[in-house]
């Protein structure tokens, strides 16, 4: 009884302490330079790791020649937000550009597909079927199973069971497959109904919305959509979108809707101003107003406060330095701070502290005459007006390791002396979930994904609570890791539980 009382009191104290930790820090709407990457890059990937560093991998650079000659890179580097610097972290096993990188629930990064320059025809790069894993502990890359087909410019989506859906891409536009981190293998899943998958979004219900440019639709560049059901392994047609978004971007909002922005209005006819929303509750698309300028080859980043930060553009340099914010509450776009350099084909990554790292890309002021200078190594940081910290798992032990994770319906901590069992329900206490948000967090226990049964405020409302079921197959031990990923950021507190 005394232990139960101590646990209850400790959780209450944690809740009171957490109230101070989730206060919002203020910063001006501004963009400031940070350290340069070790090399110039476009069409690379940028992945936020669990420790807050950013893995930059692959991409293209050019030689100073006319016409420009693209060279694909295998190099990779890490951005340290604390120091504002980049350092090499080995090389991928294969040079890649236009590949995909996905943070897995065990902390590793899956890098799949992409293309490499064709030595016999520079205009026709060769798509790759190979894949590899980056291990942040050893800071090294190692091969994993190959995809069933070669792909570049495909989509890669982390599913709620921890697998990764790979869809479309050159040179096989309609097929799809799933990667299983447990086996390290890819397996074919149901084919899509139409061609040219361009962006994919994991919805709150666990299905995946895939946006597509349909060359066989009523107009060559009308955009369609399909839904992938992981439980059935099948795609179903989800209708036509309200506007033309060939090459546009999709961003999942905290309210569960999906915002689509920009793209090409036709076959090279210019950048689109259009934006629209997909509402999963009505399974319908509808217009969402217009951006402040037309955007293509830009970036779209969900910020911690629920707004969306859009940066860069194609064609005109005066447009490529602009940024803007979409406010879901008002459904409007407004200009934000300008970039220091025009950019397209860059990356934009929400960091743990709520700022955004913008890296590399193409500066058209130097293209094609000074093609080498057109590819950027420079990076910059966008500082939102409101900084929102990432979620934080709460500990109960003095060393910060034992998590505030209880056997459901009891005050008992799932500890080494009172371990959890496979299939058991647990209550996880944390901070940082968005008020009123409908997008579930993802929880990993011992490297396996747990089913989330509830998330929101705890009983006393002081902290957040997530109810999960312990997955089967977790290796037992007194200190099994628990990981939390929410809206693209991992928890900044790692904790453990006992599992029998």
Q: What is the model's pTM?
A: 0.93
User: pLDDT tens digits for 193-219?
Assistant: 876 667 899 999 999 999 876 555 555
* CA 331 – CA 329 distance, rounded (Å): 6
What is the Cα gyration radius of the chain?
A: 23
Q: What is the pLDDT of residue 215?
A: 52
Q: DSSP letter at 364? A: G
* CA 41 – CA 201 distance, rounded (Å): 25
Q: What token pair was written down for 303?
A: 């910020």
Task: Report the phi/psi class of residue 289: left, alpha or beta, with left for phi > 0 and alpha for psi in -120 to 50.
Answer: left
Residue 316 pLDDT exceeds 90: no
* CA 59 – CA 75 distance, rounded (Å): 9
310: Cβ–Cβ under 8 A, 6 or more apart, which residues? 261, 262, 291, 295, 298, 299, 300, 301, 323, 324, 325, 326, 333
The better pLDDT of the pair 367, 246 is held by: 367
The better pLDDT of the pair 399, 411 is held by: 411
Q: Phi first, then psi: give them for residue 402, nearest 5 degrees.
A: -70, 120
**Mean pLDDT along residues 344-353:** 97
How far, CA to CA in Å, does 313 sit from each of 57, 270, 271, 395? 22, 11, 8, 44
**Mean pLDDT along residues 428-434:** 96
* CA 260 – CA 267 distance, rounded (Å): 19
Residue 25 pLDDT exceeds 80: no
Three-state DSSP at 410 gives coil
User: pLDDT tens digits for 330-346?
Assistant: 999 999 999 999 999 99
């Amino acid at each position: 009884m005394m232990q139960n009382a101590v646990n209850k009191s400790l959780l209450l104290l944690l809740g009171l302490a957490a109230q101070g930790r989730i206060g919002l820090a203020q910063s001006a709407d501004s963009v400031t330079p940070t350290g340069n990457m070790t090399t110039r890059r476009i069409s690379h990937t940028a992945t936020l790791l669990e420790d807050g560093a950013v893995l930059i991998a692959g991409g293209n650079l050019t030689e100073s020649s006319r016409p420009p000659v693209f060279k694909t890179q295998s190099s990779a580097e890490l951005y340290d937000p604390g120091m504002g610097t980049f350092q090499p972290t080995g090389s991928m096993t294969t040079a890649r550009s236009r590949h995909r990188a996905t943070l897995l629930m065990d902390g590793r990064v899956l890098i799949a597909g992409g293309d490499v320059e064709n030595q016999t025809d520079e205009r026709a790069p060769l798509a790759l079927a190979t894949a590899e894993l980056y291990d942040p502990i050893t800071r090294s890359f190692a091969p994993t199973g190959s995809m069933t087909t070669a792909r570049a410019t495909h989509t890669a989506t982390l599913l709620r069971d921890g697998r990764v859906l790979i869809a479309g891409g050159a040179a096989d536009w309609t097929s799809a497959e799933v990667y299983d981190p447990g086996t390290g293998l890819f397996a074919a899943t149901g084919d899509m109904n139409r061609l040219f998958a361009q962006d994919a979004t994991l919805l709150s219900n666990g299905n995946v919305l895939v946006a597509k440019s349909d060359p066989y639709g009523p107009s060559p560049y009308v955009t369609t959509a399909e839904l992938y059901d992981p439980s059935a392994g099948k795609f179903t047609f989800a209708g036509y979108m309200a506007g033309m978004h060939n090459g546009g971007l999709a961003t999942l909002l905290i309210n569960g809707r999906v915002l689509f922005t920009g793209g090409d209005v036709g076959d090279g006819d210019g950048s689109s101003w259009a934006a629209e929303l997909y509402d999963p509750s009505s399974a319908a698309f509808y217009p969402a107003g217009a951006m402040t300028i037309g955007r293509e080859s830009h970036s779209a980043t969900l910020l911690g406060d629920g707004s969306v930060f859009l940066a860069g553009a194609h064609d005109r340099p005066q447009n490529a330095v602009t940024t803007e914010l979409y406010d879901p509450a008002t459904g409007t776009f407004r200009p934000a701070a300008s970039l220091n350099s025009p950019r397209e084909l860059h990356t934009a990554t929400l960091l743990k502290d709520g700022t955004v790292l913008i890296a590399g890309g193409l500066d058209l002021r130097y293209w094609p005459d000074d093609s080498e200078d057109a590819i950027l190594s420079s990076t910059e940081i966008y500082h939102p007006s409101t900084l929102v910290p990432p979620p934080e798992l709460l500990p109960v032990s003095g060393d910060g390791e034992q998590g505030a994770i209880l056997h459901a319906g009891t005050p008992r901590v799932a500890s080494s002396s009172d371990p959890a069992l496979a299939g058991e329900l647990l209550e996880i206490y944390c901070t940082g979930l968005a008020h009123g948000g409908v997008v579930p967090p993802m929880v990993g226990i011992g490297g396996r994904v747990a089913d989330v049964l509830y998330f929101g405020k705890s009983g006393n409302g002081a902290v957040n609570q997530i109810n999960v079921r312990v997955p089967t197959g977790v290796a037992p031990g007194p200190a099994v890791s628990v990981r939390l990923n929410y809206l693209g950021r991992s928890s900044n507190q790692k904790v453990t539980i006992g599992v029998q």
